[in-house]
Chain A
Amino acid sequence: MAATDAGQGTDADFRTRLQNWLPKLVLSPSLAVMLIFVYGFIAFTIYLSFTDSRMLPSYGWVGWQNYERLFRVREWDIALTNLAIFASLYIVICTIIGLMLAIFLDQKIRGEGILRPIFLYPMALSFIVTGTAWKWFLDPAIGIENTMHLWGWTSFQFDWIKDRDMAIYTIVIAAVWQSSGFVMAMFLAGLRGIDNEILKAAQMDGASNWNLYRRIILPQLRPAFLSAFVILSHLAIKSYDLVIALTGGGPGNATALPATFMYSYTFTRNQMGIGASSAVIMLMTIAAIMVPYLYAELRERK
């Protein structure tokens, strides 16, 4: 798809050439910035992961030693296991709730204009802002458990945040609270984009509501599912504030995630080499999820 192919005379020739170059010219600063600030930095991190860097970058080559150590550290195992639990629950629950709310909101609901921002607003707040409130809410001594007791439901128990086997699930609850509304918006947009004529036609043919959703609507939402999956998985892998605000990684190390692990090793423990190697593993995980998606997405366009 060339920009133009008409050219009459030298003046027009020059203009055509300029017009041909302009798009690339406009794009090139972004590309340059990306190459330095993203890919250059990634290369730097990969390099660091093979060095003896501790407090600040240093350039003594140590081969695979950081990776060997990384996989001998027990906390890394915990962090990876937690990520698997957290990411799968978070993505599945957000998708289910988001889809459900979107379908419900799409039923010509009175007050949609009020409900929608209520569902959406948690995405606007960082956990630095809501962290204390969440901690209170989940703390059995002052939070929901205590409130239920005060209201007379004395057998009510909710002390997950203090329990090292259950604490990771409280992180899931808070994370779902934050992003499920956003997922709802994506699905709602998808639903509103579906051609009503098709639905009407199917209904004429006697399809039930259930079948309508299963056979026609959900398949059409495929792009929304895919976008939601990508956005949610990148949020899950990057999750950091959330853990720090809610549990600080505790009880013990029970709620450590790769992002908190990486920060702690790079900046708190002065083991930048190991921190960098964990970052490289994280990046590879992201790439493993993203590259197939990008490939599918971009090939479709051609």
Chain B
Amino acid sequence: MTMMKKLQASAAAIALSTTAVAAQEVEVLHWWTSGGEAAAVGTLRDALAGGGVGWVDMPVAGGGGSDAMTVLRARVTAGDPPTAVQMLGFSIQDWAAEGSLANLNDLAAEQGWADVVPDALQRFSTYDGNWVAAPVNVHSTNWVWANTALMAELGIDQPTDWDGFVAALQAAQDAGYTALAHGGQAWQDATIFDSMVMGVGGPEFYQASMVDLDPEALGSDMMVEAFNRMETLRGFVDDNFSGRDWNLASAMVINGEALFQIMGDWAKGEFVNAGQTAGDEFTCFRVPGTEGTVTFNSDQFAMFNVTDASAQAAQTEMASAVMSPEFQITFNLVKGSVPARTDIPSDQFDMCGQMGMAQLAEAAAGGTLFGSMAHGHANNPSVQNAMYDVITAHFNGEYDAETAAAELVTAVELAM
């Protein structure tokens, strides 16, 4: 069965599971505008249509959602918020703090969301103990994507520690390949940096520096070491990396020009689209040093206060559809991520998906599931972007590692 047919079939399944009547509408602001993503959101629209709920589409692409957030501010200020908005991490908390979000407690209690959504995610979907958003997926960001043919050719086994990782990169570089496919954009630099911090200092250090923003941790020797590792990786990136989109970096691994890419699991969609299969042409493993931990980000639909009763009913309907196991499976099969619910069977997912789901559940249970700084799940946007500034300046050679760690302390202080 092709992906599209799967999608259509599942859309029908979700449609059956929802049961509303009456002419209602949801207006949805999102930035899922590319082919596969848009098709995945389309299944949600179809599902709601089956329940008599209309869908007013309001896509605003660009800047990883930052343009959409600007539009949202204009809409809320005008007193005309959309019904639901695709949102990440701390933004949900900020909007909830403004009192702009609806209360989904009744639905959540009825469907038992608290039992199936990991605590680390609930941290973002709830505010003051109230449900304000419906999580769609969990992306984990500490993955390495690897070209298996190239690994075989170079005689590389899957590296299990940092030194092994560096040795593998070196082997690829010596053989004339690009060792690490990377795009020089601030968020991509930061995605790698997350894993370096976790790899150097482990969960406690990650918590202290990225989440608690402890100045001592931020300026510590371990942080210097994390920056040192960034420099090491910089040495394995080709000259032309600056400004490259992440999917073009993925394409380098797909085409066999490059050995590894460190990227979140949305990269898998590129490999699958290119007709490759996990465990066959490409493989995935956690960034060496971060095994046992998962850094994540989670797309959620934040539900805004709507006054009108029929709009509220439609909103509830949408939240219910988003949390339905059918939609969670359909959407995440396309998106490469894993469901936000931990009670979903993994048999429809590929090797990487299954691994991701198992490791997510483990990390959630063991307390090693952390929000990704690079994706706005460890600290608020002002701190996150201040960190971006330092990380990306260092990666582009403006600072050495010691200066970078010191700058990180200052930047975070200014942003708080």
Report A-B touching, CB under 8 Å. yes
When A162-B240, A250-B186 are in contact, do A72 and B414 touch as well, CB less than 8 Å?
A: yes
When A56-B98, A162-B243 are in contact, do A250 and B382 touch as well, CB less than 8 Å?
A: no
Taking a contact as CB atoms closer than 8 A, the residue among A140, A250, A270 that contacts B184 in the complex is A250
Let me know if A73 is at the binding interface, CB within 8 A.
yes
Let me know if B392 is at the binding interface, CB within 8 A.
yes
* Interface size, chain B (Cβ < 8 Å): 36
Q: Which of A161, A251, A252 has the most CB of B within 10 A?
A: A252
Contacts of B395 in A (CB 8 A): 252
CB distance from B249 to the nearest CB of A (A): 12
Let me know if B381 is at the binding interface, CB within 8 A.
yes
A267 touches B186 (CB 8 A): no
B415 touches A269 (CB 8 A): yes
Taking a contact as CB atoms closer than 8 A, the residue among B66, B239, B380, B392 that contacts A253 in the complex is B392
Q: How many pairs, one residue from A and one from B, have CB atoms within 8 Å of each other in the complex?
A: 81
Q: How distant is the Cα of A270 from the Cα of B415 in the complex, in angstroms?
A: 10
Let me know if B76 is at the binding interface, CB within 8 A.
yes
Within 8 A of B (CB), among A115-173: 135, 139-141, 159, 161-162, 164
B398 touches A252 (CB 8 A): yes
B381 touches A270 (CB 8 A): yes
Let me know if A54 is at the binding interface, CB within 8 A.
yes
B184 touches A264 (CB 8 A): no
Q: How distant is the Cα of A140 from the Cα of B238 in the complex, in angstroms?
A: 12
Chain A proximity mask over B372-404: 1 for CB below 8 Å, otherwise 0: 000000001110111001001101111000000
Taking a contact as CB atoms closer than 8 A, the residue among A55, A135, A139 that contacts B73 in the complex is A55
A252 touches B396 (CB 8 A): yes
A141 touches B382 (CB 8 A): no
Chain A proximity mask over B85-117: 1 for CB below 8 Å, otherwise 0: 000000000110010000000000000000000
A267 touches B393 (CB 8 A): no
Q: How distant is the Cα of A252 from the Cα of B390 in the complex, in angstroms?
A: 9
CB distance from B132 to the nearest CB of A (A): 15
A253 touches B385 (CB 8 A): no
Contacts of B224 in A (CB 8 A): none
Q: How distant is the Cα of A54 from the Cα of B395 in the complex, in angstroms?
A: 29
CB distance from B40 to the nearest CB of A (A): 25
Taking a contact as CB atoms closer than 8 A, the residue among B184, B239, B382, B407 that contacts A269 in the complex is B382
Q: Which of B63, B243, B386 has the most CB of A within 10 A?
A: B243
A55 touches B239 (CB 8 A): no
CB distance from A179 to the nearest CB of B (A): 24
B242 touches A162 (CB 8 A): yes
Q: How distant is the Cα of A253 from the Cα of B382 in the complex, in angstroms?
A: 16
Chain A: number of interface residues, binned into ranges: 20 to 34
Q: How distant is the Cα of A69 from the Cα of B384 in the complex, in angstroms?
A: 17
A69 touches B389 (CB 8 A): no
Contacts of B77 in A (CB 8 A): 56
B94 touches A270 (CB 8 A): yes
Q: Which of B66, B94, B382 has the most CB of A within 10 A?
A: B382
CB distance from B126 to the nearest CB of A (A): 19
B380 touches A74 (CB 8 A): no
Contacts of B384 in A (CB 8 A): 269
Let me know if A232 is at the binding interface, CB within 8 A.
no
CB distance from B106 to the nearest CB of A (A): 27
Q: How distant is the Cα of A267 from the Cα of B395 in the complex, in angstroms?
A: 25
A250 touches B392 (CB 8 A): yes
Q: How distant is the Cα of A264 from the Cα of B63 in the complex, in angstroms?
A: 11
Let me know if B322 is at the binding interface, CB within 8 A.
no
Contacts of B389 in A (CB 8 A): 74-75, 253
CB distance from A42 to the nearest CB of B (A): 18
Let me know if A247 is at the binding interface, CB within 8 A.
yes
A56 touches B76 (CB 8 A): yes
Q: How distant is the Cα of A162 from the Cα of B238 in the complex, in angstroms?
A: 11
A248 touches B185 (CB 8 A): yes
Let me know if B340 is at the binding interface, CB within 8 A.
no
When A69-B414, A164-B398, A268-B69 are in contact, do A250 and B242 touch as well, CB less than 8 Å?
A: yes
Contacts of B184 in A (CB 8 A): 250-251
Taking a contact as CB atoms closer than 8 A, the residue among B95, B381, B393, B407 that contacts A252 in the complex is B393
Let me know if A271 is at the binding interface, CB within 8 A.
yes
Let me know if A254 is at the binding interface, CB within 8 A.
yes
Q: How distant is the Cα of A74 from the Cα of B393 in the complex, in angstroms?
A: 11
CB distance from B66 to the nearest CB of A (A): 5
Contacts of A270 in B (CB 8 A): 94, 380-382
Contacts of B414 in A (CB 8 A): 69, 72-73
CB distance from A156 to the nearest CB of B (A): 15
Contacts of A252 in B (CB 8 A): 186, 392-393, 395-396, 398
Nearest opposing residue in chain B for A69, CB measure:
B414
Contacts of A268 in B (CB 8 A): 63, 66, 69, 381, 385
Within 8 A of A (CB), among B275-327: none
Task: Identify 7 residue pairs between A and B in the complex whose beta-carbon atoms are under 8 Å apart, listed by A's number.
Answer: A55-B95, A56-B73, A69-B414, A135-B243, A252-B392, A252-B396, A268-B69
* 7 extra A-B contacts, CB within 8 A, seeds A55-B73, A250-B396: A54-B382, A139-B243, A264-B385, A267-B70, A268-B381, A269-B385, A269-B386
Q: Which 6 A-B pairs have the closest CB atoms?
A: A252-B396, A251-B242, A162-B242, A267-B70, A269-B382, A269-B385
Residues of B within 8 A of A (CB): 63, 66, 69-70, 73, 76-77, 94-95, 98, 184-186, 239-243, 380-382, 384-386, 389, 392-393, 395-398, 407, 410-411, 414-415
